Amino acid sequence: MKILLDECVTKRLKKHLDTFEVFTVRELNLGGTKNGKLMTFCVENNFDILLTIDKNLMYQQSLEKYSVTIVVLNSLTSKIEELLTFLPSFKSQVDMFQKHQAYIIDK
């Protein structure tokens, strides 16, 4: 499974998702890219999931246009200690996610 970490998610989360193929927006030189273009990039480059903490993303874009899954960690901060608390729930649900959908992950 190929995952893109949105720029609002700390890159430190990547090493905790080592069972997946994970890239960060910054390492792909996509910093500052608008959400629509970022989602198009995900589709064109065969990403399965765009992982974010941006709760507005799922309402700003027409999800049916993009063959990618949006996953929002329902976190108030991007601190690694906080984000790690969402990973058990994320990992237990990841196989059920569907393209063109958005999911909010709680602890």
Mean pLDDT in consecutive groups of 10 residues from the start of the chain, 107 residues: 96 97 96 91 97 88 90 96 97 96 94
pTM of the model: 0.94
DSSP H helices in the chain? 35-44, 57-60, 80-84, 87-93
The pLDDT, as a whole number, for residue 42 is 96
How far does Cα 29 stand from its chain's mean position?
16
End-to-end CA distance of the chain: 22
